[in-house]
Amino acid sequence: MSSASVLVTGGSGFLGGALIQHLVSVAGLTVSTVVRNTNTEFPPLVSVRLMSGLSADSDWCSALHGVNFVVHAAARVHVMKEGAVDPLAEFRLINVASTLNLARQAAAAGVKRFIFISSIKVNGEFTQPGKMFTADDAPAPIDPYGISKYEAEQGLLKIARETSMEVVIIRPVLIYGAGVKANFLSMLRWLNKGIPLPFGAINNRRSLVALDNLIDLIVVCLKHPGAANQVFLVSDGEDVSTTMLLRKIGFALGKPARLLPVPSGILNGAIMLIGKAALAQRLLGCLQVDINKNARLLNWTPPVKMDDALRTTAQFFLDNKA
């Protein structure tokens, strides 16, 4: 692996940037990436190429020259306030057509393995209490983002069957870590300010994955023979309720969470009244994943404990006042 060359797409993103840093400084690999602008700083040894954007006809020839592995983390991500007239068409353009365009060119260029960062939304939006998603469940995506990721997975596996390039699909749950954005960042801000929150009596269970754990699995999937043409779910292996998570984050921040024990039924009704059904599901519902397949095929278990990962996340937040 020391002489292997890896192309990482989405290098300016939360996952891609951290992955590149790890591949260069820890794994000692030759790494390249493509970006739309030069605003992002990368380690000195990383080869950076400019590309106007992902499309179904992008030319990847120069970027793929000499590359052994591709980690495709770039995507049109799930958005809370969708502005497109036809969201599914927009997601398909980037997440399906451009992904398969890259994969076909990668196979033609002799890339050995293509790792696709998909989403747990391919499995579905929630699990029933006491049940878990597995990597081999029948997919049941609901929203345009999840549908586009599933269609890309199907196209990639077809390419794997028709060429010598191996494909690995990884479906993460919610990713957190140093530099996290979106809802997780909002939770950090609320708790750091000591704002009382009505989430003290939620008994759901949700899986999350620390950024370092996801990166560790990606690195294993680059070389492990058991990963070829497989689908893996990934989490920390420590499921928590929303209440428990907030308490853990508060502890990591050194600011005990001020949580009011409002019954889940009342919370659900209030959130539904303001038209936020998806938010109610994320806060109150269950979403658990079974990662036993990872241990069985790859001998992989999460190396970082949730409490340690939350301390790292909280410290970065405090140091950077994000």
Task: Check: CB of residue 264 under 8 Å from CB of residue 241.
Answer: no
Local structure of residue 49 (DSSP, 8 states): E
Q: Which residue has the tokens 């068409």?
A: 89
CB 234 within 8 A of CB 291: yes
176 is catalytic: no
Provide the token pair at 316.
């970065």
Q: Which of 126, 133, 145, 317 is catalytic?
A: 145
The backbone region for 28, taken as left when phi is positive above 0, alpha when psi lies in -120 to 50, beta otherwise, is: left
Contact criterion met (CB below 8 Å) for 157 and 167: yes
- Report d(CA 58, CA 150) in Å as an integer: 21
Compute the 3-state secondary structure of the chain and give helix, strand, coil in percent, each to the nearest 5.
Answer: 45, 15, 40
76, 91, 93, 105: which is closest to 7 by C-alpha? 105
| Separation between Cα atoms, residue 15 and residue 214, nearest integer Å | 9
Give the whole-angstrom CA distance, residue 252 versus residue 174.
18
For residues 230 and 118, what is the distance between their CA atoms, to the nearest angstrom?
A: 12
Q: How far apart are CA 264 and CA 113, in angstroms?
A: 45
Looking at the annotation, which residues are catalytic?
Answer: 145
